[in-house]
Amino acid sequence: MENLGLLLIFWYGILHAFGPDHLTAIADFSIGKSKKKTMTITTLFAIGHGLTLFIFAKILDTYNISESILGYGDIISASVILAMGIYLLYMVFNDRIQLKKHIHDGKEHIHIWFGKEHEHNNRDTASAFTIGALMGIGGVRGMLVTLGMVEANSVDMTMVLAFSLGVMVIFVGFGSVILYINKNLLNSKQNLKRVFATAGVISVVVGSNMLLA
């Protein structure tokens, strides 16, 4: 029964990851990134998501918190998606997304960055972990119900790990789709603006819909 329970939790993680807010966040962070950075971002997003879910699930497992307070978790998730969409649209319409091509070891490389100067840092990967953690607050209720149905409300790290692995499978798979877009579409400044503008509009629509729901 224990293995079956973990399998069910793993499957719930897969279903949970298909939420439009999660896929939108992954797209916003991964567009224009290298293969290594895209995979790092999707993995850190999943880890941050699972860590927050574990912490808050343990809190809710111990303390009785009203539904009205828990509802603020959904508002936080929606606000994050909405803010990212507005930010992307701002960067597009103010021409602050840059693209530069160069030849290295006989191969053409494309660098994409925000702002005037190209900086090599880990800010986006750290942000992906943070956003994943923040958005995890919005999924706590659904996860706790699922865990409770399977394991009688006993939340442990093994269960959250199974859930996080399910989430990671979808995130990494979706990251592969973003890699295809990066490789085949982001080869000109015009296409770059179109893709980021599309991602921004989708983020605004998804975030607004979540807030109004």
pLDDT in tens, 173-192: 888 888 888 777 777 778 88
As a whole-number percent, the residues of the chain with pLDDT over 90 amount to 7
Six token digits for residue 67:
């539904």
Please tell me the predicted confidence (pLDDT) of residue 108.
Answer: 59
d(CA 39, CA 125): 10
5-33: per-residue pLDDT in tens?
778 778 878 887 888 888 888 887 778 77
Residue 94 has pLDDT above 70, yes or no: yes
pLDDT beyond 90 at 151: no
| Strands, E assignment, the chain | 97-104, 107-114
> At 109, phi and psi to the nearest 5?
-120, 145
Q: Which of 188, 166, 210, 206 is nearest to 50 (CA)?
A: 166
Residue 1 pLDDT > 50:
no
Q: Tell me: the pLDDT tens digits for 98-144?
A: 777 666 666 655 667 666 655 555 667 778 888 888 877 766 666 65
Token pair, residue 139, equals 């999924």
Q: Please, what is the angle between helix 123-136 and helix 35-62, to 10°?
A: 30
Q: What is the mean pLDDT of residues 204-210?
A: 91
- Alpha carbons 143 and 60: distance in angstroms, whole number: 11
Report the candidate in 126, 123, 141, 131 with the shortest Cα–Cα distance to residue 21: 131
pLDDT at 72: 76
* Continuous segment of H or E residues that includes residue 111: strand 107-114
Mean pLDDT score of the chain: 77
What does the DSSP assignment read for 27-50?
HHHHTT--HHHHHHHHHHHHHHHH
